Structures are given as structure tokens and as C-alpha cells.
Amino acid sequence: MTMPARPPRLRRATALAVAGAAALATLVGVPSASADALEDGQWWRAAMGVDELHRTGAGQGVTVAVIDGPIDASVPELTGRVAASSTECLTQGGERQSSTAKGAGADHATSMASLIVGSGKGTAAGGRGIAGIAPRATLRHYAVLYADTTDGGGDGCRLDDTGLDQSGAATARAIRLAVKDGARVLSVSLSVDYDGALVEALLDAYRAGAIVVASTNNDTRNVFWPGIGNGVVTVTHVDAAGNLDSSALRKSPLLDFAAPGTKVATGASDSSGWRSDALADGASQATAITAGGLAAVWSAHPDATGNQVLQAAKDAIGLRAENGKYLTWFRRVGSNLPASTGKTESYGFGIFAPADAVRLDVASLPDTNPMVVDTGVVSPTAAQIAAAVGSSPTPSPTSSTPASPSPGETPTGAAGPAAAEGDSSDRGGSAPVRVLVGLLALALVAAALVLVLRRRAGRADGAPPSTSQAHDTTAATDGLAVTTKEHGHGGH
């Protein structure tokens, strides 16, 4: 493999959609959209039971870091809710960029922050706006993405006078600074190229007991840094019926969770200013909702560790029983539902269900990060993570036979979402695979940089798999058989 002359441009994880109404999910069907785009775009709140979640935890006492582009903290949703905002990125003239802005250039970070701590006040009818999943959390913002600031005219971050995109290094710096500033959950809805500093930054986060949540990439249906880092929570996106979006990564053990991300009200700027009822699709939204949801769960269990919060999220993935099958869903509906039985092919552990995770005895769960894998070429390694947190490496649940469901229950995968046509492009040929194998980068003249991936994706062409029939899949990676069960979405 030949190293490119300059790194590919940083890519945001979100693909904006045309403003429109989302279908509101229920257990009996998907009704027609209403005339209220904001209401329809917040379908995920009812689907995930956010009001119920807030009765026990709304993020109080937890600091969440949003690492993104510049932010507009003056929109109604965020007024008085952004505790701090900073950047280390420079202009072409060598001056420090502003971490805040107005207009389209600030929309992405503003939207992610609103999904996490939004007040519910906005510019929609009646003064309504986006209501966040962790409205009582403390939010700190770090900007690492600027438009047209690097040679070639792409989004990125300039840290010196070379003019090169150094967004990987900038993201690493932001992670380390966020941890130093006391962030316990980090939400990173962007993709950057590998930089050695990212490994040390992740170790800093784990050493401090923080959770790092990152998105998959919509443009390529793949995962790049920091989502590829070992121990990072990697998220893809689903619609109101539980289907993977057409831009979502599929059939890959790279994934940890799915979460709402299709036709979600995120807000956007137009010629008249900020519009709270603008909708968007993407893994970015799912990442922010997951990060905020984890903060909400943690706030209800302040004595728990971040690892235990992740264990709760894994054990209480959304699931519902129907006709003898267990179907992936936004909540746990039914009796005697099993805990996680391993990784699915396209949903990770499943759809994140914080209103159910918060009901567990979180502080009694194992104090190990279930996203860490200990076999294959991964970075940081399980040994490095164990050394950082002062523990011994623990086998990952994704590299062992999954636990059996409750006696008398036989979970059978239902038909998955129909394969959607979309971008099948891949940056760098073969996609990375989460459970075990990655790419080795080349030795540079002055130093050897090892590009290690937490996982290697199962399809080189990036095309979505066929999910036309029920199945249990045994996936062999590096000689290790891992049983996975693909849960269907109910097909409403």
C-alpha cells in the first residue's frame, strides 16, 4: 500500500436529507407523517421512551464533550447550555479560528449539541425546538472541522503553517483536552484519517474512565478513526421502523449499536436563520443520541463506572418478542427477554435502549469495556488498555460464544431490512473488520506509524448484504468462529 501524498479530506458523518416528515414508529405500524415536521422529526423520543428515562436520569452531574465543527450556541435550544467552546485550528494567516459561528458552517455541531442537551425551545411553531436526550448534562464543545481551510479546499483543521489537513491530530488533542476538562462521555460525529496521537488520546480517555462514542461514515458505509479505535462505541443509524438507513453501514462486526438517525429533527440554517424543524439523516444523529443516552443512564447511577454503563447498554438492547421470535426494536417489549446473545451482523449488539438499560443494577455489572477486543491487530491493544486502566485484559464477548437465552426460549433471526441501493465506494479498498483484523500502515522515513484497525469489515465492495431470509450466521474471522444472530426489525 502506498501512502497518499496528502491525507484524504475529513468527512462529516452526516448526510443531510431534504426537510420532510418522518414516520412515527409504533408497535402496530408506521402511521402517516403529520403536518408538523418538528413533531415527526422527534419520533425517536417516544420510540426510545425518553420521558420515562428522564424520570431517573437526564444527564445531571455528567459532562458530555461534543467534538465537531464550530457551534452556534445562541440558537434557542442551546442558549445557556454550552459550558465552554474551544479550538486549536488555525486560519490560513496563522490566527486561531473561532470555535463559534452562525449559519450553515455551524449547523452540524449545533445539531449534535441540541440532540444531547437541547432545551426544547426553538423556532418552530409555538416557540418549540429540539429537546435533547440528556438536557441536564453539562456540555463542552471542541471544534476540529472547518470548511476550506486546508490545501485542496476540503474540510479539516490546520494546526501549523504547512497547510495540510491535520484533523486526526486535532481530534486527538480535543479528546485529551475534553478528558482533562472532566468529560465523561465524548460524542464524535466525524471521521478522520489515522494519526498516532489518536491512540494515546483514547488511552487517556480510558484511563480517566470516560466513554468515547463515534459514528460510522455515511459516504462510504465504513468506519474510520476514531470509530475504529479499540474500545470506542461505534454507532450506525436506523429509521422509525428499525430499518437500517440506505446510507448506514451493514453486515459488519465493526458496529456496536444502532440508534435513531433517519429523518430526525436536527435543525439547520437557511436565509432566514436557524430552523428547528429541519430534518436530517445520518450516523451523526445516532451517535449524539447514543452519547446523550449513555450520559442519562450514568446520571441515574452515579456510583457506576463508564464500563458498567456500557455493559448495561449491551445487556438491555432493544428487543421485542413476536410469534416466537426476538425482533430488534427501540425498547424491550415482552417478558423473559434474553440479555445480549452476541453481535448481530448489521446492528452490533442491537438498537440502543437507554430507558431499559437504566432499570438495571448498573453498578453490579462487570467493570470491563465490552467494546474492547483482545485478538487480532487492534489499536490500542487490549494490553495497552489494561495497562492504562490498571487491570488485566479480559476476553471480549465478541470473540467468544454468546450466552444462551433464557430456558425455553429460542431466538430466531427475523427477516432483516431490505438491501438498499447506495454508494458502494470505499476509501482504501478493503473495509476494516471490528472483531479482529486491520491494516498495517507503512514505515515512514523518520518513524514507523502503524495504522491499526480494531476490526475489518466483511465486504470489500461496501455493498449492503442481502437480508431476505431468517438466519443464524456463524462468522469465522482469524480462525475464530463467532456466532451472531441477525434480528429483524418487524417489517412494518
Express each pLDDT in 193-220 by its tens digit.
Answer: 999 999 999 999 999 999 999 999 887 7
Treating both helix axes as pointing N-terminal to C-terminal, what angle do 382-389 and 196-207 enclose, rounded to 10 degrees? 40
Split at pLDDT 50, 70, 90, the class of 421 is very low
Kindly report the number of other CB atoms within 10 A of residue 299's CB atom: 23
**pLDDT over 70 (residue 6):** no
Residue 78 resides in a domain:
yes
- Residue 52 falls inside a structural domain: yes
Assess contact for 49 and 355: CB atoms under 8 A: yes
Give, in order, the Cα–Cα distances in Å from 33 to each of 126, 330, 421: 19, 19, 24
The answer to whether 66 and 215 are in contact (CB under 8 A) is no
- Residues written for the chain: 492
- pLDDT tens digits, one per residue of 312-325: 999 999 998 888 88
pLDDT at position 106 is 97
CB burial string 137-173: b at 16+ within 10 A, e below: bbbbbbbbbbeebbeeebbbbbbeeeebbbbbbbbbb
In a domain, 22, yes or no: no
In this structure, are residues 326 and 340 in contact, taking their beta carbons and an 8 Å threshold? no
Q: Which residues contact 387 (CB under 8 A, 6 or more apart)?
A: none
Q: What is the pLDDT of residue 419?
A: 29
CA nearest 349: which of 264, 408, 454, 434? 434
Q: Is the pLDDT of residue 452 over 70?
A: no
Position 323 scores a pLDDT of 85
| Residue carrying the nine cell digits 490545501 | 151
Contacts of 398 (CB under 8 A, 6+ apart): 253, 342, 343, 373, 434, 435, 482
Output the domain CATH number for residue 377. Answer: 3.40.50.200
Give the global pTM: 0.78
Separation in Å, CA 326 to CA 213, 318, 349, 473: 27, 10, 13, 15
**Rounded-to-integer distance, Cα 450 and Cα 381, Å:** 12
Considering the candidates 111, 189, 276, 284, report the single residue annotated as catalytic. 284
394 confidence band (pLDDT: 50, 70, 90):
low
- Is there a cis peptide before residue 370, judged by omega within 30 degrees of 0? no
SS3 402: coil
The domain in which residue 391 lies consists of 38-485
pLDDT one-digit tens code per residue, 349-384: 999 999 999 999 999 999 999 999 888 788 999 999
84 located within any domain: yes
Asked if 240 and 263 touch (Cβ cutoff 8 Å), the reply is yes
pLDDT confidence of residue 270 = 94
The answer to whether 240 and 24 have CB atoms below 8 angstroms apart is yes
- pLDDT confidence of 430, banded at 50, 70, 90? very low
What is the per-residue pLDDT for 222? 85
| More confident of the two residues 452 and 372 | 372
Instruction: Identify whether 490 is part of a domain.
Output: no
Q: Domain total for the chain? A: 1
The answer to whether 270 touches 47, Cβ cutoff 8 Å, is no
Of 68, 245, 356, 426, catalytic: 68
Model pLDDT for residues 233-285, shown as the tens digit of each residue: 999 999 999 999 988 988 877 899 999 999 999 999 999 999 999 999 999 99
Question: For residue 338, what pLDDT is reported?
Answer: 84
| 155 included as an active-site residue | no
Here the cell at position 332 is: 424491550
Taking residue 385's Cβ as centre, other Cβ atoms within 10 Å add up to: 23
pLDDT of the residue at 490? 36
Q: Is 272 a catalytic residue?
A: no
d(CA 246, CA 181): 37
Is 14 a member of any domain? no
Of the listed 54, 108, 301, 489, which one is catalytic?
108
Residue 469 pLDDT exceeds 70? no
* Mean pLDDT calculated for residue range 409-413: 28
Q: Is the pLDDT of residue 126 over 90?
A: yes
Confidence grade of residue 340 (pLDDT, cut at 50, 70, 90): confident
Question: Over 80: is that where the pLDDT of 46 sits?
Answer: yes
Is residue 58 in a domain? Answer: yes
SS3 389: helix
Q: What is the mean pLDDT of the chain?
A: 77
User: pLDDT value at position 151?
Assistant: 64
The reply to whether 31 falls in a domain is no
Q: What pLDDT does residue 275 have?
A: 97
Is 68 marked active-site? yes
Is the confidence at residue 148, as pLDDT, over 80?
Answer: no
